[in-house]
């Protein structure tokens, strides 16, 4: 039934989840239902129904109003189900086949060759069929169309959830490996061949260097200069210095960094020294001061650590897409990986490219 009829009858709707499918596999998601009792005005027929409620069933029928006198209905037919069948009106209620077959009665009247038919039902006579051009009841280009609707699925929310999952699987935008660039394919192969896991299950990776690694210059001088500037800044702000030192101490305690054991054997030309600085987030509930390591800092050759590494495909998805996919499942679990990027270990032979002062 339509929402308009439901409102007129002041029905109390309950929540449901149904998908109606019709011609062309067009689908409509319905979330409301209402219980009604229909009764014939010409007899004792009554039936309790549970109706799905939607804004509109189909277009007005007939498409155009026409003169009732163009159709010669026998005078003995008094009980018309719709006495105003010739007036274009909104369809308020569509009964299913389970009602259609039990509503038919004996009595069918043909109104001429290729013309409409009167069919007797428990609700009275109903008129249907053709009104052809050139016939005695020619009313011009007046084509009346009805739509067959079928209750296709899903009497439970779980079934509808499955339909939504299938829909999102079709609509989801994923990284098509066939569209990866040569650089991105090399990165994927590098990851597959070199990535391992330690005894605790943490990933151990090799840095994906490109051919420019041999041109990486001296990074120590720039890192030392920026460290000296940082010391001057922290010397003027004791509170920031304390937070900065606490952050660095935490890294060492968690074994996310370790002191170089023998400085005399360290080559200040090989490898890479990363400058670092602080980022303050006053609204942070945990760590207001965070230390950022700058792997984009240029060396004496004009190249940075980032410049000599290959760039793989973007694996991060937009927050909007992630939130939308929450609707695919009945239950969703969220979690946070503490210090996620530092949980990934760098192979020992590449640690010289992540030194700090």
Using one digit for the tens of pLDDT, what is the confidence trace for 155-205? 455 666 676 677 666 656 555 556 788 888 899 999 999 999 998 888 999
Residue 205 Cα distances to 191, 194, 210, 259, 271, angstroms:
7, 7, 15, 21, 17
CB 2 within 8 A of CB 56: yes
pLDDT tens by residue, 203-235: 999 999 999 998 999 999 999 999 999 999 999
pLDDT digits over 57-68, tens only? 888 888 888 888
Domains in the chain: boundaries: 181-354
β-sheet with 124-128: strand ranges across: 104-110, 117-121, 124-128
State the Cα–Cα distance between residues 187 and 208, nearest whole angstrom: 7
Neighbouring CB atoms inside 10 A of 143's CB total 11
- Cβ atoms < 10 Å from Cβ of 145: 9
pLDDT of residue 350: 93
Pairwise CA distance, residues 288 & 299, whole Å: 30
* pLDDT score, position 174: 55
> What are the pLDDT digits (tens) for 285-312?
666 788 999 999 999 999 999 999 999 8
Alpha carbon distance 195, 347 (integer Å): 9
pLDDT in tens, 103-131: 999 999 998 888 889 999 999 999 988 87
Is-contact 156 133, C-beta < 8 A?
Answer: no
Residue 46 has pLDDT above 80, yes or no: yes
Strands 203-205 and 149-153 come out as unpaired
Q: What is the mean pLDDT of the chain?
A: 84
At residue 137, the pLDDT reads: 45
């Amino acid at each position: 039934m339509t929402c308009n009829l439901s409102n007129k009858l002041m029905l109390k709707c309950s929540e449901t989840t149904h998908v109606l499918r019709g011609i062309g596999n067009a689908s409509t998601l319905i979330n409301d239902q209402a219980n009604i009792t229909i009764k014939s005005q010409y007899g004792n027929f009554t039936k309790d129904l549970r109706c799905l409620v939607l804004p509109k069933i189909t277009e007005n029928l007939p498409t155009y109003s026409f003169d009732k006198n163009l159709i010669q209905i026998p005078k003995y037919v008094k009980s018309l189900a719709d006495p105003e069948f010739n007036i274009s009106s909104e369809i308020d209620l569509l009964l299913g086949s389970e009602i259609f077959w039990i509503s038919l009665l004996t009595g069918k009247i043909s109104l001429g060759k290729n013309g409409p038919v009167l069919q007797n039902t428990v609700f009275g006579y109903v008129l249907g069929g053709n009104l052809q051009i050139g016939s005695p009841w020619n009313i011009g280009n007046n084509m009346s169309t009805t739509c067959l609707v079928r209750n296709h699925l899903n009497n439970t929310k779980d079934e509808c959830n499955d339909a939504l999952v299938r829909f999102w699987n079709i609509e989801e935008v994923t990284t098509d490996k066939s569209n990866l660039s040569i650089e991105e394919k090399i990165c994927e192969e590098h990851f597959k061949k070199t990535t391992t896991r330690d005894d605790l299950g943490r990933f151990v990776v090799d840095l994906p260097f490109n051919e420019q690694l041999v041109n990486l210059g001296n990074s120590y001088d720039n890192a030392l200069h920026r460290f000296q500037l940082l010391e001057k800044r922290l010397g003027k702000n004791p509170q920031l210095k304390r937070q900065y030192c606490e952050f660095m101490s935490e890294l060492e305690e968690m074994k996310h960094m370790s002191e170089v054991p023998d400085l005399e054997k360290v080559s200040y030309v090989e490898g890479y020294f990363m400058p670092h600085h602080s980022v303050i987030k006053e609204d942070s509930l945990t760590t207001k001061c965070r230390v950022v390591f700058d792997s984009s800092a240029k060396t004496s050759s004009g190249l940075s650590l980032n410049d000599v590494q290959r760039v793989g495909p973007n694996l991060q998805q937009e927050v909007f897409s992630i939130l939308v996919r929450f609707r695919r499942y009945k239950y969703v679990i969220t979690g946070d990986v503490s210090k996620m990027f530092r949980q990934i270990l760098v192979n020992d032979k590449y640690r010289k490219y992540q030194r700090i002062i």
